[in-house]
Amino acid sequence: MTDVDAKAIPEYPTPLKRARALGSAKSGTGHFWWQRVTAVVLALLVPWLVGILVSLVGADLGHVHDVFSRPYNAILMALFVVALFWHAKLGLQVVIEDYIHNRAVELTLLVLNILLCSLGALASLYAIFRIALLA
C-alpha cells in the first residue's frame, strides 16, 4: 500500500477508541467511595445524636448547653456536621450532573452546591465551637 492508498481509506473509530477519548473515570471511583465513607460515619453517629436529643427532651437551655459543651460531644457533633454536609454535597452533585442538561445551569448549580454546603458546614462548626469554648 502506498501513502495515497492509506489516506483514501476512511478511519472508523471502534467503540473502545471513542471511549478512550472521554477521559479517565478515576474521579468517579473516589466520589463513590467518599459517598460511602460519609454514609457509614453518619450511620454510626445518628444513634449517638438521637440518644443525646432524646435525653434532652424537657431539659432547660442551661443543661443543653452543658451537654454540648463537653469536649467529646462537641467533637462528635463537629464530625457529624462535616460528614453530613460533605455527604449532602456529593449526593446533590450527582443529582445535578445526572439530571441538569443545560451546561450553564449545571455549572451554576454545582458552584451553588459547593458554596451553600461549605457555608452550612462553617456556620454549624462555628456554633458548635462557640458553645464548646464559651462554656
Q: pLDDT tens, 40-94?
A: 999 999 999 999 999 999 999 999 999 999 999 999 999 999 999 999 999 999 9
SS3 100: coil
Other beta carbons within 10 angstroms of residue 53's beta carbon come to 11
Q: What is the pLDDT of residue 66?
A: 94
Residues 6+ apart with CB under 8 A from 134: 69
Residues 6+ apart with CB under 8 A from 65: 131, 135
**In this structure, are residues 41 and 76 in contact, taking their beta carbons and an 8 Å threshold?**
no
Q: What is the pLDDT of residue 18?
A: 65
Q: Give the global pTM.
A: 0.78
Report the Cα 24 to chain-centroid distance in Å.
Answer: 21
Other beta carbons within 10 angstroms of residue 38's beta carbon come to 20
